[in-house]
Amino acid sequence: MKVALITGGAGFIGSHLSDLLFEKGYRIICMDNLITGNIENIKHLLKEKNFEFIKHNVTGYIKIKGKIDYVLHFASPASPADYLKFPIQTLKVGSLGTHNALGIAKAKDAKFLLASTSEVYGDPLVNPQPERYWGNVNPIGPRGVYDEAKRFAEAITMAYHRYHGLDTRIARIFNTYGPRMRKNDGRAIPNFICQALSGKPLTVYGKGRQTRSFCYISDLVGGIYKLLVSNEHSPVNIGNPNEMSLLSLVKIIISLTGSRSKIVHASLPIDDPKIRCPDISKAKRLLFWKPTVDIEEGVKETIAFFKSSLTG
């Protein structure tokens, strides 16, 4: 039985990844300090003999007995609300945390996968963003704590690959959504859905012309798995190239919730990207992967989750 250590395994993406690997017959060691993760996300797995939860902050030394075949490093605050609230912790988990996760992978001779992000591209001057694009990041802006933490994480991952010969992968994850997102997450889809279901005005920053591309969680973890079992060491974009404006997204959510909420506009956050869309030709070519869940289908599933969580 293959053993996978997932840091940040009680988070939104980490918990879905835990589900996927568990279903595929892996033994899962889930590590999370629960700063943004939620034990409820993995509650259904806690009773399983091949699932183990360890509450631990990965910025401290990671010590685990027994074999580990894969280390998947997903520990980090990931929404602007979180990394603006926890700027030092975000920098530490991207640097010290990645170093420690790489260290346990090296000690166990395990394959290592880094959860990087489209934020390494910053406010891009190229659209869509291919992996060869180096980005346009403000290192001293408020978003820089996340952008630069992930850019450093990529750099040290490649250093371990080149210097130590560690078998590494880097997934550049674009905007992802679905069940288990937190209602106070601060990202567009949970914000809009919760506002719509509560009858509150939907807050759009700026004129809403900025674009994003949204990948449903099942598509995302499917792409992560294909990357994990591939032989690709350089970064790979995993996301949905269906680009839309935030105003278009709001209208879809209002329609699907049947909400009578009005749209209100607020000032754009500092360094908020104007465009964001993955070039996934590399993932298609090397992983034979592309997303299949369209935005309306995925948003319906996400609305159902928030309806139950808001009334539960």
Of 238, 287, 157, 225, the residue nearest 2 (C-alpha): 225
Cα 91 to the center of its chain, rounded Å = 16
Distance set, CA 151 to CA 143, 154, 197, 235, 307 (Å): 12, 5, 37, 11, 36
CA dist 48 and 37 (Å) reads 20
In the DSSP assignment, the letter for residue 151 is H
Does the active-site annotation cover 83? Answer: no
- What CA–CA distance (Å, rounded) separates 114 from 234? 11
Contact, 10 vs 42, CB < 8 A? yes
Q: What is the largest CA-CA distance in the chain?
A: 58
Catalytic residue among 26, 70, 121, 146, which?
146
Would you name the residues annotated as active-site residues? 146
